[in-house]
A = this chain, B = another copy of it.
Amino acid sequence: MAGTRRVQASKRRTPLSRERVVRAALELVDREGLEALSMRRLGAELGVEAMSLYNHVRDKDDLLGAVTELALSRFRVPEPSGDWAEDARRAAREWRRLFLEHPSLIRLLAERNEPLRSPAALGPMEHALDILARAGLTPREAVQAFHAFGGYIFGFVMMEQGIMLTGDDPVRRRAHVEMAEAVEAAHLPRLREAMPDLMECDGDEQFVFGLELLIEGLRAKAAARA
C-alpha cells in the first residue's frame, strides 16, 4: 500500500533537471529574496528532498552562479536607433529594468565576486562596447566608458533599492522623520534645504539625470578631439 503510493507519486513527479532546479531557485529568489533560498526550502518548492538537488548542482555556490546567469540571460538587447546616445540610454534603461525585475541580482553579483565571463553576460557587453565604438571612442576609451557606465548603473540601482529615500513604504517614512530629526539636531544647512528633494525624488528621473551627465561628458570628450 505504502509502496503503491510511493510508486504513483514517483510516476507522477516530473523528473528533476538542472534547468528545473535553477528556474525554481530564481523564481523563489525573485519572490522572497536571497535569504529565502536554502537547499531544503528549494527542495520543498520542487516536492523533493534537499539532497536530491545535489544530483544536478555541485553545491550551493554552483547553484547561485547558475541563478545569476539565468537572470542575466533575461537581458533583452534593445534595437539600435542609429544614434549612439539614444542607444546608450536604451541599453542603460534595459539594465536597470533587469535589476529591478530581479531585485536580488545585484547582491548575487556583489557577493560571489566572480568576474562576468558567462555567455549570458558577454552579449550585452559586446552590445555596449559596440555603442561606444560608434560614438567614436578608441577601444581603450570604450573600455573606460564601459566601466563608467557599468559602475553608474550598478551603483545607482543598488542605492535605489537600499539607501535612497525613494518610495512610500512605512519603513522609508520612518527613515524620513528620523533623518529629518538628525538633520535638525546637527547643523547641516545644505542637507536641510535638500531634504524635500531627497524625499520625493523619483527613481526613474534620477537615473536619467546621471545618465545624461555621462553621455554629455562623453560628447564633450568627442567634441574636444574633433
Contacts and interface: CB of A to CB of B under 8 A. Distances in A.
B143 A194 contact: yes
Contacts of A210: 144-145, 147-149, 151-152, 214
Interface stretch (A12-20, A38-46, A79-87, A118-126): A118-126
Contacts of A109: 162-163
A98 interface: no
A190 interface: yes
A151 B150 contact: no
A198 B191 CA distance: 39
A178 interface: yes
Chain A interface helix/strand/loop/mixed: helix
Interface residues on A, range: 35 or more
A1 interface: no
A100 interface: no
Contact of A209 (B144, B163, B189): B144
Nearest to A103: B113
Contacts of A191: 122, 125-126, 129
Interface stretch (A2-10, A52-60, A215-223): A215-223
Contacts of A213: 145, 148, 213-214, 217-218, 221
Contact of A110 (B122, B162, B197): B162
Interface in A187-201: 188-191, 193-194, 196-198, 201
A209 B155 contact: no
Interface in A151-205: 151-165, 172, 175, 178-179, 182-183, 186, 188-191, 193-194, 196-198, 201, 205
